[in-house]
Amino acid sequence: QVRLVESGGGSVQVGGSLKLSCAAHGYTTASNYCKAWFRQAPGKEREGVAAIHTSGQTRYADSVKGRFTISADNAENILYLQMDRLKPEDTAMYYCAADFRWRALCSTNVLEYDTLGQGTQITVTS
């Protein structure tokens, strides 16, 4: 069983940057799998932000393209989300997730991920 633990959340002003990390604790023999970041604002559904395949292929939600960058250190089992030019609408609880089933491509559909972290809060103030 793999456990995901996020860190790096906090409060930042509009236009600022933050970098989230997600450490995977536990052991897996999975290959060709996906990791992703999701977020959920109060009163809204959880939405996909970005996903990355173990091959390095990435996918982003339109709302964050050009501002957020997902990356992974597969050797250390750490997932990152660099967030630049933050906007008030980026305020949410951010969760990292993993889908350890064999996948050729990754999606940002939360229903396809069965391992989620507990989340870290991002607040963007104006």
Give residue-wise pLDDT tens across range 38-59: 999 999 999 999 999 999 999 9
pLDDT tens digits along 71-126: 999 888 899 999 999 999 999 999 999 998 989 999 999 899 989 999 999 999 99
Tokens 């250390």 correspond to 76
Cα 55 from Cα 48, distance rounded (Å): 19
DSSP 8-state symbol, 44 = S
* Burial of 37 (C-beta count, 10 Å sphere; 0-12/13-18/19+): buried
Cα angle vertex 67, ends 82, 56, to 5°?
Answer: 60
Residue 63 pLDDT class (50, 70, 90 cuts) = very high
Residue 36 carries which DSSP code? E
- Tell me which DSSP letter residue 110 carries: G
Tokens read off for 79: 């997932």
